[in-house]
Every structure is written in structure tokens, then in C-alpha cells.
A and B are shown apart, each in its own frame.
Chain A
Amino acid sequence: MTEQKMAGGVDPNTVRKSMSIKAPPAVAWRVFTEKMSTWWPLAQYKIGKAKAVEAIVEPRVGGRWFERGADGTTCDWGRVLSWEPTSRLVLSWDITADWQYDPKLNTEIEIRFIAEGKDGTRVELEHRHLDRYGARREEMRRIFDTEGDWGKVLELFASAAAAD
């Protein structure tokens, strides 16, 4: 479970998450940037038609961030905006509310890797400029952040029951 950061109250255009991990920043950075295919939930979070088998971040500013399908096709997700091993990575997230790539969308994800204790890392993630989703900002903020309360579960049940 990650923690919410609420400094300065709720910003409707930004989702913030942070967590501590038992790995030094250099390992955290390497796993995040070089080994994304091993941990990104590709079964759920991908946009191409083909089964996705890899998630790749090209290691330079301007590099592509994309998925590769089992059939060899690729689908872009965004671009590398800042590349500062092993402390800070900024990626654009150019996937629309309809889960299509649009290079003009340009929401941003900043990930900071901060040394913590002996061999630990504080990972802070900020997904910002959600205002670029326009009328669908709130819908997307909920997807990225959390729907997590039981009132919502009951609402879902109520709507499913009503539709049955």
C-alpha cells in the first residue's frame, strides 16, 4: 500500500504517492528504468491490441517510453523529459482518457529516488497536469489515485444490482 501525500491540501491536477522500499537508490533506479518489463502490470496496463510483453524506457532525454507486443508492434506511452540517474526521472504520460496515445497530451510523471536509512529508498511519484484531460480530469484522477473506499463499493453494487 502506498501513502497519500497531502501537503498543501488536495490538488485536483496532481496525484502524489510515496513509499519506502528495501533497496538502495541505484537498484531502485535500475529496476525502474531497465527492468520495467519484469514488474509493470502489462496484463492490465497496456494500450496495444497485441498481448504486451515489454515496457521500455529509452535511457536518455527525449527517449521513448513504450510497450512492445508479442507480435513485435510497439505503442508509445510517452517520452523521457528528465533523466538524472539515480535520483530523478520525469516522463510524459501521453495516454488519453480513452487509452490512446496522443503526443500532444503531455501529462507528466516525476519519480524521485531518495536514499533512506541503510540501503533503503524513499520513492516519490507525482503525476501532474491532469487538467490536460479537460472535462475528464476528475475521472482520470480517480483512476490514477484511488477509488478506495467502501462507499464506492456499495455504489458499484447498487448500480450493478439496478442494471440487472
Chain B
Amino acid sequence: MNVSRPAVSQHLRVLRAARLVTARAEGTRRLYAVDPKGIKALRTWLDGFWDEVLVAFKEAAELEAANERKP
């Protein structure tokens, strides 16, 4: 990679602060992995206002319909 080690570490710190990756220490090394929870939250945000509102509405309406079908 055409990037210095400290620069990579700095970028990973930013990702970790944003909770997009997790980090664990192994000896003197730090191992980073993608954090699925963080990515999911980001996805939700990226989906846009009306997507989020409509998906919330869909869940509520389907729950209501299911409750009404019960004898």
C-alpha cells in the first residue's frame, strides 16, 4: 500500500470512532474487523428519510392487521 503505517492506523482509528470497525489487541498488534452493527446503522441512515419512515409504518400496519385477524 502506498500509504504510511501511521496514516493507516489513523484511518482505522477514524473508522473505529465511527463504530464501523472493531479492534482487538493481539500481542503488539491491533486487529481490525468490520462491525456489522455499525454498517447496518449507516445503511439505515443512508436509505433516506422516507424509506425509514415507510418501513416503520409497514411494520406497525402489519402488526395491527395480524392482531385483528386473531379470533
Contact = CB atoms under 8 A, between A and B. Distances in A.
B51 A146 contact: yes
B68 A27 contact: yes
A2 B51 contact: yes
Residue among B43, B49, B55, B62 having the largest count of chain A Cβ atoms under 10 Å: B49
Contacts of B52: 41, 44-45
A146 B58 contact: no
B43 A148 contact: yes
Contact of A32 (B10, B55, B61): B61
A157 B14 contact: yes
A146 B46 contact: yes
B55 A2 contact: yes
The SS class assigned to the A binding surface is mixed
A93 B64 CA distance: 26
Contacts of B25: none
B50 A22 contact: no
B18 interface: yes
B65 A24 contact: yes
A48 B57 CA distance: 22
Interface in A25-75: 27-28, 30-32, 35, 38-41, 44-45
A17 interface: yes
Contact of A22 (B15, B48, B57, B65): B65
B51 A1 contact: yes
B48 to A, nearest CB: 4
Interface in B20-71: 20, 42-43, 45-62, 64-66, 68
